[in-house]
C-alpha cells in the first residue's frame, strides 16, 4: 500500500508525494550529505544543509539553489485540517546532545525564556548542521558548553530553570 505525503517547498509550493513515486527515483549518496538524484532521465545534485526531525524540515541545496522542504504525512494533514495542534508544551530541565558533535553556535543566553520549538543551539555532526530546538517551555539557567567545543551524546548543553 502506498503512503501519501505532502512536501511544502519554501513555504509556497505544495507537492503531493507517495512511496510509489519515491521508488521511481534513483538516489545515490556520493559524499556525506551529498546525493545524486536521477528521475526520468534527469540528473540533479542535492546537498543536505540541515535536518530537523522534530519539525520534519530539511534545508537542501538542489542544483545550486537552496530549498526548505517540510514534509507532512497523512496524520499531519488530518491534524492541520481539524485545526488541532499535536504538540503539547512541557517544562524542561536540561537540553542534552542528541549525538556527538561540534558546537557551531549558541543561540540563547542565561535568563532568556524559550518556547517549545525555539532554536537554542547549532550542532555539527557528520558534516551536517543540526538545529537543537527546545522540546518545551523554560528559562535558560546556564549555558554549559562553548562555541567550537566538541560534545558527547547525552552531554548536558544547556541547563534550564
C-alpha cell at 93: 530541565
Alpha-carbon distance values, 1 to 18, 19, 51 (Å): 10, 9, 27
- Residue 128's domain spans which residues? 94-160
What are the pLDDT digits (tens) for 28-50? 999 888 999 888 888 999 999 88
Of 82, 111, 140, the last residue of a domain is: 82
pLDDT-based confidence at residue 91 (cuts at 50, 70, 90): low
Residue 88 lies in a domain: no
Are both 73 and 27 inside the same structural domain? yes
Residue 112 lies in a domain: yes
If one counts the domains in the chain, the total is 2
133 within 8 A of 157, measured Cβ to Cβ: no
**In the predicted model, is pLDDT for residue 81 greater than 90?**
no
* Three-state secondary structure call for residue 158: strand
Are both 12 and 62 inside the same structural domain? yes
Amino acid at each position: 500500500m502506498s503512503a501519501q505525503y505532502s512536501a511544502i517547498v519554501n513555504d509556497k509550493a505544495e507537492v503531493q508525494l507517495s512511496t510509489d513515486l519515491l521508488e521511481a527515483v534513483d538516489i545515490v549518496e556520493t559524499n556525506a550529505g551529498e546525493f545524486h538524484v536521477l528521475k526520468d532521465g534527469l540528473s540533479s545534485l542535492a546537498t543536505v544543509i540541515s535536518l530537523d526531525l522534530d519539525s520534519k524540515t530539511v534545508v537542501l541545496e538542489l542544483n545550486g539553489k537552496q530549498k526548505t522542504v517540510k514534509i507532512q504525512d497523512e496524520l499531519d494533514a488530518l491534524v492541520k485540517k481539524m485545526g488541532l495542534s499535536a504538540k503539547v508544551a512541557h517544562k524542561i530541565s536540561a537540553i542534552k546532545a542528541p549525538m556527538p558533535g561540534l558546537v557551531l553556535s549558541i543561540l540563547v543566553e542565561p535568563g532568556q525564556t524559550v518556547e517549545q520549538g525555539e532554536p537554542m543551539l547549532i550542532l555539527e555532526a557528520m558534516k551536517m548542521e543540526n538545529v537543537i530546538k527546545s522540546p518545551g517551555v523554560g528559562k535558560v539557567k546556564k549555558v554549559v558548553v562553548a562555541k567550537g567545543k566538541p560534545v558527547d551524546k547525552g552531554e548536558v548543553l544547556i541547563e534550564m530553570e
